[in-house]
């Protein structure tokens, strides 16, 4: 199980991000910088934070990471393979499926991206500034094209009095006609650098599922405010959105194998904070899927942590759920319950 720690136990399995961080720390500044140039901002931030946190890495761990990477390189070649397939394989080995899933698409987009696609490479605050004065329907379309976690960050930066209207439009959005999409793409393209927008086909974006996905990534205070407002306007739609949302208590429906996989990717400090707000049944679900020693340590950490602000608990639970959803999207785990909408 991954842990937030200053010293890495020799016997403790490393997460994909930790392996990648060790590799970058090993190959030297210049080569590491070249690798980071090919990653998106979220991946760079995650890797950078992990690299800064690691200390006391053992020689054995370094050797294991390098041996694993060398074996990967020796056993694979781009000859006879599509570049995308090769990149995907390398990144999954280095970062883990949940981090590499969308990263490949973003790398493939990176060079020639323009218009709406360019927004996926921008910081949420910059996107919010760019679209905040646009018509809510335009904002809804733009957010529907972004990845859900990115869209949630942008939404939180938009004026509070517009969020409900935007989410209602996303939830009821069934598609965008090609001429309207092309016009929007051209407007955004001109804001960047000029040039002609690529040919665009009719696109199915938005819908209740997209609204649920975005709200899953928003802070609980923002989420509850938007859902309450939508309930006032359209109770049935609000219920449909909530039915598709996956909350922390739903992890009880995940099978033991899925919980074990999740434990390998979630930081221990994050999980401890998240479990402070969980009922005993869910806590036991996690404990029974750990080694006896790890479970005892987790129980001790929970007792020692003391009172935690509700906002911190909710934020930690959101982080755990984000990992679970990404793993479900990659087919690594099944979320159960309403999970059919997520896997």
Do 135 and 225 share a structural domain? yes
Do 334 and 260 share a structural domain? yes
CATH code of the domain in which 336 resides: 1.10.220.30
Identify the domain boundary among 195, 210, 244. Answer: 244
Domain, as residue range, for 236: 116-244
Residue 5 lies in a domain: no
User: What pLDDT is recorded for position 179?
Assistant: 66
Residue 9 lies in a domain: no
55 φ/ψ angles, rounded to the nearest 5 degrees: -155, 160
Of 212, 214, 328, 340, whose CA–CA distance to 262 is shortest?
Answer: 328
User: What pLDDT is recorded for position 76?
Assistant: 53
Identify the domain boundary among 244, 269, 296. Answer: 244
Nearest 10 degrees: Cα torsion 196, 201, 207, 211: -30
239 neighbors 340 (Cβ within 8 angstroms): no
Do 330 and 228 share a structural domain? no
Residue 124 lies in a domain: yes
Do 152 and 122 share a structural domain? yes
Residue 11 lies in a domain: no
d(CA 172, CA 315): 28
Do 132 and 206 share a structural domain? yes
Q: Is 267 left (phi over 0), alpha (psi -120 to 50) or beta?
A: beta
User: What pLDDT is recorded for position 230?
Assistant: 92
d(CA 268, CA 262): 11
Number of structural domains the chain divides into? 3
Per-residue pLDDT of the chain (343 residues; tens, 9 = 90+): 444 444 444 455 777 788 888 888 887 777 777 888 777 666 777 788 888 887 777 777 887 887 777 766 656 544 444 555 655 666 666 656 655 555 555 454 444 445 566 677 678 888 888 888 888 888 888 888 888 888 888 999 999 899 999 999 999 887 666 666 666 766 666 655 444 434 444 455 678 888 988 888 887 778 888 998 999 999 999 888 888 887 788 888 888 999 999 998 888 889 999 998 888 899 999 999 999 998 899 999 888 888 888 888 888 888 888 888 778 777 788 775 443 333 2
Do 182 and 286 share a structural domain? no
Identify the domain boundary among 110, 140, 159. Answer: 110
Do 182 and 265 share a structural domain? no
Do 189 and 121 share a structural domain? yes
127 φ/ψ angles, rounded to the nearest 5 degrees: -65, -45
Q: Which pTM value belongs to this model?
A: 0.50
User: What pLDDT is recorded for position 45?
Assistant: 74
Residue 3 lies in a domain: no
Do 139 and 91 share a structural domain? no
Do 226 and 261 share a structural domain? no
Cα angle for residues 77, 81, 82 (degrees, 5° grid): 125
Residue 7 lies in a domain: no
Do 136 and 191 share a structural domain? yes
Residue 213 lies in a domain: yes
Q: Tokens for 302?
A: 């929970």
91 neighbors 152 (Cβ within 8 angstroms): no
Do 140 and 183 share a structural domain? yes
């Amino acid at each position: 199980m991954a842990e937030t720690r200053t010293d890495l136990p020799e016997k403790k399995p490393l997460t994909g991000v930790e392996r990648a961080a060790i590799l970058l720390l090993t190959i030297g500044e210049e080569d590491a910088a070249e690798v980071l140039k090919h990653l998106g901002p979220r991946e760079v931030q995650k890797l950078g934070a992990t690299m800064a946190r690691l200390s006391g890495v053992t020689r054995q761990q370094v050797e294991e990471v390098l041996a694993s990477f060398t074996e990967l390189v020796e056993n694979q070649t781009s000859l006879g393979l599509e570049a995308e397939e090769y990149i995907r394989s390398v990144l999954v080995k280095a970062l883990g499926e949940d981090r590499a899933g969308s990263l490949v698409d973003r790398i493939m987009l990176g060079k020639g991206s323009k218009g709406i696609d360019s927004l996926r490479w921008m910081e949420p605050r910059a996107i919010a500034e760019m679209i905040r004065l646009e018509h809510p329907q335009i904002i809804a379309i733009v957010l529907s094209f972004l990845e859900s976690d990115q869209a949630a960050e942008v939404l939180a930066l938009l004026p509070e009095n517009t969020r409900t209207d935007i989410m209602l439009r996303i939830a009821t959005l069934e598609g965008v006609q090609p001429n309207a999409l092309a016009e929007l793409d051209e407007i955004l393209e001109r804001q960047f650098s000029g040039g002609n927008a690529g040919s665009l086909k009719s696109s199915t974006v938005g819908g209740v599922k997209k609204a649920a996905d975005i709200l899953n990534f928003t802070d609980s205070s923002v989420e509850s405010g938007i859902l309450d407002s939508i309930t006032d306007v359209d109770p049935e739609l609000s219920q449909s959105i909530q039915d598709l949302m996956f909350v922390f208590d739903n992890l009880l429906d995940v099978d033991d194998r899925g919980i074990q996989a999740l434990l390998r990717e979630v930081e221990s400090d994050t999980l401890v904070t998240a479990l402070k707000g969980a009922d005993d049944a869910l806590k036991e679900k996690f404990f029974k899927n750990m080694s006896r020693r790890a479970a005892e340590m987790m129980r001790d950490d929970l007792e020692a942590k003391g009172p935690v602000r509700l906002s911190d608990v909710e934020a930690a639970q959101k982080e755990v759920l984000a990992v679970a959803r990404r793993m479900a999207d990659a087919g690594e785990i099944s979320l159960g319950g309403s999970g059919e909408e997520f896997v």
